Amino acid sequence: MKLPELPAELTDFKPEVGLILGSGLGFFADDRIEVVGRLPYGEIEDFPVSTVPGHAGQFVYGHLDGKRVLCMQGRFHFYEGYTMAQLTLPIRLMAQLGVHTIFVTNAAGGINRDYVPGDFMLLSDHINFLGTNPLIGNQSNDDTRFPDMSEVYDGALRAKIRERAKTEGVDLKEGVYLATTGPSFETPAEIRAFATFGADAVGMSTVPEAIVARQLGIRVIGISCITNAAAGISKEPLSHEEVSETADRVRPQFADLLAGAVALA
Ligand code: HPA
């Protein structure tokens, strides 16, 4: 796959850690990174542009706790109409830039009845319910065609993150994330089915990026912000507004959790 050219300022910066900031979580780049530069997606040849409110659509790079990080402020979703290849292109660019670890964040609905809006969940694993796979059609010779997915989310780094959360008295959940295409929210019957599959949370992102990152040998950590109870678990109808409101409310806690996790990478 031919990758677009990136400006020398970014390639020379040599990012080590990639952060994908999900719905309502893009503020992290402005609040916590000592910014060195920004690169709007529109300035990259053939790069998709995010269409969701709350997704600014640029790379922000700089320092966080002594690490060189590259943030995606705004990510792409399958429901926006992009191909799997388009929406995982940033991961291939990160790999080319030398990123060794990515933190993929998202907003998700809680299926597990122990979860309440505002909780954070470390992804222990995922279920790809997208009906497709980002590696379909990939015939390049230097990529693995059948990559192992037995441990998508790095166990050793997760253990350190859990340990740190415990020390700091943060109630960090850990569970299985199931990805649907969206953009409609799920029905209560779907959520009951997903619960029997073993899913703890549901969302519309993350899995394509995680699969491609693993194919490329990048270490992955996933963090969900549980923004709402999934359909049928809460009596209220679901809305994008509720998702944004919850993400906004837990900003400081999310920022502490993510910054703390990155420091351990
Ligand atoms: N379902 C799917 N995606 C989501 C949800 C949900 O309940 N909340 C935030 N993203």
List the domains of the chain with CATH numbers: 8-263 (3.40.50.1580)
Kindly tell me if the per-residue pLDDT of 54 is higher than 60.
no
258 CA distance to ligand 1 middle (Å):
20
Residues annotated as catalytic are 23, 55, 77, 79-80, 107, 204-205, 228, 240
The residues, ordered by sequence, that sit 6+ positions from 44 with a Cβ below 8 Å of its Cβ are 4, 6
CB atoms within 10 A of CB 242: 18
What confidence category does residue 3 fall into, taking pLDDT thresholds of 50, 70 and 90? confident
The CA distance from 5 to 18, in Å, is 18
CA angle 48, 77, 199 (to 5 degrees): 160
Measured from the Cα of 180, ligand 1's closest atom is 2
**Residue with the larger pLDDT of the pair 236 and 210:** 210
Instruction: Convert the pLDDT of each residue in 120-169 to its tens digit.
Output: 999 999 999 999 999 998 766 655 788 999 999 999 999 999 999 999 99
Q: Is 186 in the pocket of ligand 1 (CB under 6 A)?
A: yes
- Band of residue 35 on the pLDDT scale cut at 50, 70, 90: very high
Ligand 1 atom with the shortest distance to the CA of 238: 7
What pLDDT score was predicted for residue 143? 55
At residue 191, the 3 state secondary structure works out as helix
DSSP-based helix, strand, coil % in the chain, nearest 5: 35, 25, 40
